[in-house]
A and B are shown apart, each in its own frame.
Chain A
Amino acid sequence: MLLIPCPWCGPRDEAEFGYGGQAGVAYPRDPGALTDEEWARYLFFRDNPEGPFEERWNHSAGCRRWFNLTRNTATNEITPISPSGDASPPGNVATGEVGTASASWDAATGGPR
């Protein structure tokens, strides 16, 4: 069982969370312009590193917020990144360019920065 640090609630049991997959996968700007292959790459292709992996998690049994963290897939060591309620960071997957997730919440006020 992992102990996952929710940026709002602190460390909680893995069972309280839902997994959101790789972080920073942006929705294509113009989905209609994609070829089938590009669309399939956006839908199904994800990095699969052995080592640090940036992931999205949802504290579904707690505050219900989405956030990002980095988990080492070999050791399960977790490094918090920041509270992030924004699922669509800049970047365009279709061209292979993936944006980095940025915090969209101010930790003190919970409002937009």
Chain B
Amino acid sequence: MADPTPPREPATMVERISPLAGFAGVSDTRLRVREIPFLRQTNLRADPGKVPPSLGLRLPMEPGTWLRSGGADVLWLGPDEWLVIGDVDLPRSEDVAVTDVSAQRTTILVAGPGARDLLAHGCAIDLHPSVFGPGRCAQTTLARAQVVLVAGEDEEFRVLVRASFARYLADWITDAAVDY
């Protein structure tokens, strides 16, 4: 029989490395770009007519919008699908499918007076402030990579991108940022 090995401390064995670890980003007066790593993300699927109050969240029903509720940002992804960004524990229920998708995407913050032009450089949707102002979000493509764009206040945008595309997109942003 082998010697019983002492239990190891799992936390000390794990070093969290974000998809864009080491990404220098951009930092000047016109444009700020950096990774926001490890945002907790939860995908919700539910019949919009049957969302139980016990969920504790308000869900945006208008396509392409997001709102803040229960300490989280709740994004409309589809008529029966939402993405919750924030450190919230959602109750399980018969009527809502709750899936942790935190590791699926990382987040790139693109902010500043040049942010909108930079995004428009690689994105086909109308990003004019009158159409894509604070409170709007969209699933679309940026430089041909699938992203979720989230418009916040003060020309701050979150770009949610799949982990495997993150490095490519960060390189593209760094390159395109030269123009803005």
Residues of chain B from 64 to 113 with CB closer than 8 A to chain A in the complex: 64, 77-81
Which residues of chain B come closer than 8 Å to A80, judged between CB atoms? none
Given A9-B63, A61-B146: A110 touches B79 (CB 8 Å cut-off): yes
Rounded to whole Å, the gap between the CB of B150 and the closest CB of chain A is 14
Q: Contacts A16-B140, A110-B79: A9 and B48 contacting too (C-beta < 8 A)? A: no
Q: How far is the CB of A67 from chain B (nearest CB, A)?
A: 11
**Residues of B contacting A: mostly:** mixed
For B36, what are the chain A residues with a Cβ–Cβ distance below 8 Å?
Answer: none
**Do A63 and B79 have beta carbons less than 8 Å apart?**
yes
A15 at the interface (CB under 8 A from B): yes
Give chain B nearest CB distance to A64 CB in angstroms. 6
CB <8 Å contact, A61 and B141 = yes
The answer, yes or no, to whether A24 is at the interface (CB within 8 Å) is no
The answer to whether A105 has its CB under 8 Å from any CB of chain B is yes
Complex contacts, B64 vs chain A, CB 8 Å? 9-10
Contact A61 B139 (CB under 8 A): yes
Sort chain B's interface into a size bin: 20 to 34
Tell me the nearest residue of chain A to B79, going by C-beta. Answer: A110
Q: Within 8 Å of chain A (Cβ to Cβ): is B4?
A: no
Decide if A35 is an interface residue (CB 8 Å cutoff): no
- Given A65-B78, A65-B79, A83-B79; A109-B49 close (CB under 8 Å): yes
Instruction: Point out the residues of chain A lying under 8 angstroms from B61, CB to CB.
Output: 109-110
Do A63 and B140 have beta carbons less than 8 Å apart?
Answer: no
Cβ contact within 8 Å between A8 and B78 = yes
- A94-113 Cβ-contact flags toward B at 8 Å (1 or 0): 00000000000100011100
A77 interface residue, CB < 8 Å from B? no
Min CB gap B59→A, angstroms: 11
User: Is A13's beta carbon under 8 Å from chain B?
Assistant: yes
Which residues of chain A are within 8 angstroms of B146 by Cβ–Cβ distance?
61
Select from chain B the residue with minimum beta-carbon distance to A110.
B79
Taking CB atoms, residues of chain B closer than 8 Å to A21 are none
User: Chain B's nearest CB lies how many Å from the CB of A97?
Assistant: 30
Nearest 3 Cβ contacts at the A-B interface: A110-B79, A13-B124, A63-B78
Question: What are 29 inter-chain pairs, A to B, with CB distance below 8 A?
Answer: A8-B78, A8-B79, A9-B63, A9-B139, A12-B124, A12-B140, A13-B124, A13-B141, A15-B124, A15-B141, A15-B144, A16-B124, A16-B140, A16-B141, A61-B140, A61-B141, A62-B138, A63-B63, A63-B77, A63-B78, A64-B78, A65-B79, A83-B79, A110-B47, A110-B48, A110-B78, A110-B79, A111-B48, A111-B49
> 5 new A-B pairs (CB below 8 Å) besides A63-B63, A63-B77, A64-B78?
A13-B125, A16-B124, A63-B81, A65-B79, A83-B79
